[in-house]
Structure 1
Amino acid sequence: MLTRDAILLTGQVAIVTGGGGGIGRGIALGLAEFGADVAIVDIDGDAADRVAALVRARGQRALPIVADVMDRDAVRAAVARVAAELGRVDILVNNAAGTRPINLLEMTDRHVDRQIDINLKNLVATTQAAAKAMVAGGRGGSIVNIASIEGSRAAPGYSVYAACKAGMLNFTRSAALELAEHGIRVNTIAPDLVPTEHMARFAPAILSEAGKGAQARYIPLGRAGNLDDCAGAAVFLASAMAAYVTGVTIPVDGGTWASSGWTRDDEGGWKLFE
């Protein structure tokens, strides 16, 4: 019978890549709030330390690890360190990613390679390393990938990033099938607009008053997402509440994927292409 304890993560150990800021920080703190010990893997050591302090303030163990997820050997070493120092690996959140807008005709090979390295290759390496640790532990586990709604729709200016996120969606499905026999579930969260420090740097117009007005028209729930929206979905997928959920993608987007071109007018009605 379902009980309230099914949402708790007591005694479990989570790894969050890119956990030093933005959505990763929100998820790391959400997992800690529900009882998980958390390893924060981030290229910025100071940021990882700050999040680790917040995890400890919630009464949980924290392990900050400095690593560049584009260095696949460093990723494997980070997972091994978590297993050795925290004793187990139960949850992996593949959050680390990166992009910047660039026109297809202006891309260089270096830009394309970097996008694939940070958004796709790191996903495969980290998932494989964590899954091996979970199999060795014999308790199953949960892997939560942080994609983007751009993995399901066009993203002019972000074509390679969107292609990588589309790849993440299919990787999730395939990995879910391969790891099911080990009791490891693999799912994806696909956020849309969630203002973060990174977004404030490269797309400040989105956070302006005019941008907020547009959000009220284009986002069915009338607002941008926040870190807790993503953390809530991650906690659910990591917990026993989602014990029979694997291989799926959950849009955390306020309804923008469902709206697909429908926008709200000044009177609150819905219009298509107006």
Structure 2
Amino acid sequence: MLLSNKVALVTGAGQGIGATLARALADAGASVIVNDINHGKADEVAHAIAAAGGRAVAQHSDISTFGGADAAVQAAIDAYGRIDILVNNAGILRDRMSYNMTESEWDQVIAVCLKGTFACARAAIREMRRIGEGGRIINIASRSGLRGSIGQANYAAAKAGVLGLTRTLCQEVSKFGITVNAISPRAVTDMTNSIPEHVRKKKDASWADTSVVRRGTPEQIAPAVVYLASGEAEWITGQVIGIGGDKLSLWSHPKEVAEAFIFGGWSVENMREMFRASVASELQSVGNKD
């Protein structure tokens, strides 16, 4: 199978996308560490994988700490002698408008979604380097981090950080044969169901008149993760790939879209004239299109 003799760690794998990814990796031949702080759910997923003929061990540490992340990676070493694949899936929502958000709501989301992603990557990379046979790190991102999302300042900031982390790590570890990519999924899960219905409808409005299924299931996310985890994807790194329903997409890297120079540097007056000219040009362009 595609992932025979590989060992994968999936964080936040007790339910939703994480559980589905753990099962898909096992179906592809990987031995899987099912990490989740919910002991019962992690155990249930691991038992289900084993009952289906796969190999899995449940692990319950809190990956938002370096110690917890180290313990999750160590569980892979203890059970199977190595780690080849890390899927940083663990995440939480604490949605609230920015002006009402509490310090705890901010800190919790940053700790799990951003610090946890870094902590697990740090621990996994150390072991992958020691083994010397490369590796695959797949970070679960979000459109909130790509485009922003009202009521999710904490989550959007964390997921935007995951994108910067993905691009940085891929540069640091490519020489070791380790790839680092991000997946931006669009799937209905228990976590997304916590988003108010009127907000979801507003976000989906642009797709209302199309036949394309925009928001799919966790099972439709899995093929992208399994492929990126395989040896066939050794040439793909530093990328952000969107998948959900019928749609697969590749996101661009941030880049400058315009530039201007003034010898000696810019003043407020220079900038005022430049922006006024830019706005006038943009309005003229819109008018010509109409």
> Do they fold alike, i.e. is TM over 0.5?
yes
Q: Is the Cα contact below 8 Å between 1:16 and 1:39 reproduced in 2?
A: yes
Q: What letter matches 1:70 in structure 2?
A: S
- Among 214, 217, 222, the residue aligned to 1:231: 222
Structure of higher CA gyration radius: 2
3-state SS of paired residue (1:152):
helix
Is 2:243 the counterpart of 1:243? no
Q: Which runs of 4+ in 1 moved over 4 A?
A: 213-216, 254-258
CA distances 1:177-196 after superposition (whole Å, capped 9, x unpaired): 1011111100000013x111
Aligned length: 249
Q: Tell me the CA shift for residue 57 of structure 1.
A: 2.7
- Letter paired with 1:172: T
Partner of residue 71, structure 2: 77
Q: CA deviation at 1:163?
A: 1.3
Partner residue in 1 for 2:208: 217
- Please, what is the CA RMSD of the aligned residues? 2.5
Secondary structure (helix, strand or coil) at the match of 2:208 reads: helix
Query: Is 1:66 matched up with 2:60?
Result: yes
The TM-score, its normalising length taken from structure 2, stands at: 0.79
Give the TM-score taking structure 1 as reference length.
0.84
Equivalent in the alignment of 2:271 = none
Structure 2: gaps (5+ residues) = 251-290
- Against the structure 1 CA distance between its residues 218 and 106, is the aligned structure 2 distance closer, same or farther, given a 3 Å change threshold? farther
Which one has more relative contact order, counting CA pairs under 8 Å at least 6 apart? Answer: 1
When residues 191 and 220 of structure 1 are mapped into structure 2, their CA distance, relative to the original with a 3 A threshold, is: farther
- Cα gap change, 1:106 to 1:257, in 2 (>3 Å): farther
One-letter identity of the residue aligned with 1:203: I
Percent identity over the alignment is: 38
> Structure 2 CA distance, aligned partners of 1:204 and 1:112?
19
Match of 1:205 among 194, 197, 200: 197
Structure 1, unaligned runs of 5 or more: 259-274
1:1-274 residue pairs with structure 2 within 5 A?
Answer: 8-192=2-186, 194-200=187-193, 202-203=194-195, 205=197, 217=208, 221-253=212-244, 254-255=246-247
